[in-house]
């Protein structure tokens, strides 16, 4: 129980609705963790993995129709529809409470309701926010234990000042897709999620609180909640420059956050510090600089494609105390996924629980994958070899550069710098990626995803652009804004840039620009590196490839501008005039 009356009343109210047999307050202790693991393992909710090879690790499968965030069932419930904007599904709060209330009603009968007090950000930091999640899933409790700081210390913090908190209610209910809703009530600081067991829908501290609800709070309070990794780049002289970077999904955000410097740069003394791989909360501090914390304490990373070449730090991070969801289970009770390490196993149990062996095909002749393409690992950040020593610092790290990125085969140069903050906001607002063969839909189709926040901005995105513009005026100096593209191809569709650790060469240029140490070429879209200023020592790349990577094609850009206009028109009158100003200025520079 608790001394915080608001919390006590709310827990009672939710218990009355969901009717659990029992209520358990989570304290976050090791003993409690072991008891919950044993209970969930005995019920088959999780499976203990090989304790010698993967100590403290567990395996979990979600329902077959519950393997990713369900954006079509995700709603922002504000009194006025315009406040949710064209970027969100909207439902009136009263309708939403009624509709979901019917599903929650009695949904925890025969189950336990766990009360999880959690802190997004270091406990007690003025940068942090507290939430309390009520859930009937032990899997959720165990994941929240990794992804957030949670338990008694947070409860104490809540009681100290009778502080306010985000009310997060979750029930598995029947895992029925027809009775699944992910609802956000920014005006009530509340989240209701029902009918799902997939991480992005049910670990309510993550996308729901730290992005959708927090973006709304941040706008009101004057800070920024962003879908960004945070990393530090240590130079040979010991100086560390920190950057925050936003990429749409499937662009290697987790890999970049844990980058291994190529041998030459490592020998020179370069080193990477990982602060976060998914979310950044950023504030202007008393020194006028932008400071960022990662509100999370763990990684909820995509498993397929993670291997010792793409991300050896992630591979090292998931060797213990990790929960694997929807990957392939091997007969020796270890796990595997496509494009992972080691030989392809001869047999196993696939993510749907069926016997699996390589080459199996479905009735349409398609290869059956052992792991679901969106299968995940949940692992503590502290286990990452590059985890920053600043993770628990209450004010986080000072941000020198903001980086936007996307997957563009032909349009975008390897890197360019915006002319100033306002132009940088335009660069972020026009961010986009082309669909790859791995994604559903038409290959090559451009999907706009401003600041990688399209599915996560908890309010009208026109106001969000306005908020970005306003934040720039508060900073002295504002970080420089860049755009990168690791995915430019030649005429045969082959990547021109090697990517992975070599991306550090681009980050090196970015930081040199921030410090005013290197020149650049002015072009209609922004500042592009002089080819000689990108360190290419030890890199097997032709001059022609570098020239192509750093070139812009004015005709392609003219075509791109049509897409910008079409996208911005959706926001009508609410779009800040500065965005149209930047549009016109770019058109003029391109001589349209
Ligand atoms: C994630 C996402 O899971 O962006 O991080 O979908
Ligand atoms: Mn994400």
Annotated binding site for GTP: 250-255, 376, 407, 500-503
User: Catalytic site residue 14?
Assistant: no
Atom nearest to 456 CA in ligand 1: 4
CB burial of 342-358 (b: ≥16 within 10 Å; e: otherwise) equals eeebeebbbbeeeebee
Q: Are 391 and 381 in contact (CB under 8 A)?
A: yes
Query: What pLDDT does 522 receive?
Result: 98
Mutate to test the pocket of ligand 1, among 207, 294, 405, 447 (most ligand atoms within 8 A of CB): 207
What is the distance in angstroms between the CA of the first residue and the CA of the last residue of the chain? 66
242 CA distance to ligand 1 centroid (A)?
A: 22
Q: Which residues line ligand 1 (CB under 6 A)?
A: 69, 200, 249, 278
Strand segments, DSSP code E, in 415-491 are: 415-417, 432-434, 446-448, 480-484
Q: What share of the chain is helix, strand, coil (3-state, %, to 5)?
A: 35, 25, 45
Tens digit of each residue's pLDDT, the chain (592 residues): 788 999 999 999 999 999 999 999 999 999 999 999 999 999 999 999 999 999 999 999 999 999 999 999 999 999 999 999 999 999 999 999 999 999 999 999 999 999 999 999 999 999 999 999 999 999 999 999 999 999 999 999 999 877 789 999 999 999 999 999 999 999 999 999 999 999 999 999 999 999 999 999 999 999 999 999 999 999 999 999 999 999 998 788 999 999 999 998 999 899 999 999 999 999 999 999 999 999 999 999 999 999 999 999 999 999 999 999 999 999 999 999 999 999 999 999 999 999 999 999 999 999 999 999 999 999 999 999 999 999 999 999 999 999 999 999 999 999 999 999 999 999 999 999 987 655 555 667 899 999 999 999 999 999 999 999 999 999 988 999 999 999 999 999 999 999 999 999 999 999 999 999 999 999 999 999 999 999 999 999 999 999 999 999 999 999 999 999 999 999 999 999 999 999 999 999 999 8
Query: What pLDDT does 445 receive?
Result: 86
Rounded Cα distance, 309 and 317, in Å: 14
Mutate to test the pocket of ligand 1, among 249, 277, 279 (most ligand atoms within 8 A of CB): 249
Q: Single out the catalytic residue among 168, 251, 457, 514.
A: 251
- Token pair, residue 162, equals 């009778």
- R_g of the chain computed on alpha carbons: 24
Atom nearest to 249 CA in ligand 1: 4
573 CA distance to ligand 1 centroid (A)?
A: 31
244 beta partners: 230, 402
Q: Nearest CA to 195 among 172, 225, 219, 212?
A: 172
- Token pair, residue 385, equals 């070899």
Q: Are 217 and 224 in contact (CB under 8 A)?
A: no
Phi, psi dihedral angles at 586 (to 5 degrees): -65, -45
Query: SS3 sequence, 159-173?
Result: HHCCCCCEEEEEECC
Ordered structural domains, the chain, with CATH: 5-221 (3.40.449.10), 226-297+391-589 (3.90.228.20), 299-383 (2.170.8.10)
- Backbone dihedral region for residue 347 (phi beyond 0: left; psi -120 to 50: alpha; all else: beta): beta
């Amino acid at each position: 129980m608790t001394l915080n009356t608001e919390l006590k009343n709310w827990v009672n109210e939710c218990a009355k609705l969901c009717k659990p047999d029992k209520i358990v307050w989570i304290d976050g202790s090791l003993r409690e963790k072991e008891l919950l693991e044993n209970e969930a393992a005995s019920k088959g909710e999780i499976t203990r993995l090989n304790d010698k090879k993967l100590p403290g690790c567990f395996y979990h499968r979600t329902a077959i129709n519950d393997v990713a965030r369900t954006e079509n069932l995700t709603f922002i419930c504000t009194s006025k529809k315009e406040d949710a904007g064209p970027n969100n599904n909207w439902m009136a709060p009263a309708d939403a409470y009624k509709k979901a209330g019917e599903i929650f009603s009695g949904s925890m009968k025969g189950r336990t309701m766990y009360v999880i007090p959690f802190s997004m950000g270091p406990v007690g930091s003025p940068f942090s926010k507290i939430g309390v999640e009520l859930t009937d899933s032990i899997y959720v409790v165990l994941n929240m234990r990794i992804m957030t700081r949670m338990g008694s210390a947070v409860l104490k913090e809540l009681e100290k000042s009778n502080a306010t908190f985000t009310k997060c209610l979750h029930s598995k209910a029947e895992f029925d897709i027809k009775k699944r809703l992910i609802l956000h009530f920014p005006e009530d600081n509340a989240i209701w999620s029902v009918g799902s067991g997939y991480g992005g829908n049910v670990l309510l501290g993550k996308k729901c609180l730290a992005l959708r609800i927090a973006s709304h709070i941040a706008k009101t309070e004057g800070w920024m909640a962003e879908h960004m990794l945070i990393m530090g780049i240590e130079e040979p002289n010991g100086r560390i420059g920190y950057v925050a970077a936003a990429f749409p999904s499937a662009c290697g955000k987790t890999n970049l956050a844990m980058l291994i410097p190529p041998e030459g740069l490592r020998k020179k003394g370069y080193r990477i510090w990982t602060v976060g791989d998914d979310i950044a909360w950023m504030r202007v501090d008393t020194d006028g600089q932008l400071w960022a914390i990662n509100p999370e304490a763990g990684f909820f990373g995509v498993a397929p494609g993670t291997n010792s070449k793409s991300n050896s730090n992630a591979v090292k991070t998931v060797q213990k105390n990790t929960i694997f969801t929807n990957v392939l289970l091997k007969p020796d009770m270890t796990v595997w996924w496509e494009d992972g390490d080691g030989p392809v196993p001869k047999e196993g149990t696939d993510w749907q629980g069926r016997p699996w062996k390589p080459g199996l095909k479905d009735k349409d002749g398609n290869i059956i994958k052992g792991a679901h393409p969106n299968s995940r690992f949940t692992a503590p950040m502290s286990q990452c070899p590059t985890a920053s020593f600043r993770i628990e610092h209450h004010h986080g790290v000072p941000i020198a550069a903001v980086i936007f990125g996307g997957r563009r085969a032909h349009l975008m140069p390897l890197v360019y710098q915006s002319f100033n903050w306002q132009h940088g906001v335009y660069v972020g607002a026009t961010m986009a990626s082309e669909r790859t063969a791995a994604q559903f839909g038409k290959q090559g189709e451009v999907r706009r995803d401003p600041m990688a926040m399209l599915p996560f901005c908890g309010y009208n995105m026109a106001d969000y652009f306005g908020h970005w513009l306003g934040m720039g005026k508060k900073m002295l100096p504002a970080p420089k804004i860049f755009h990168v593209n690791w995915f430019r191809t030649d005429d045969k569709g082959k990547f021109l840039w090697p990517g992975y650790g070599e991306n550090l060469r681009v980050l090196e240029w970015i930081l040199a620009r921030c410090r005013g140490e290197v020149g650049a070429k002015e072009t209609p879209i922004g500042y592009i590196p002089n080819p000689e200023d990108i360190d290419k020592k030890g890199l097997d790349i032709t001059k022609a490839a570098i020239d192509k990577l750093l070139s812009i094609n004015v005709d392609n850009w003219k075509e791109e501008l049509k897409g910008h206009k079409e996208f911005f028109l959706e926001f009508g009158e609410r779009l800040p005039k500065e965005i149209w100003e930047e549009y016109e200025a770019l058109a003029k520079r391109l001589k349209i």
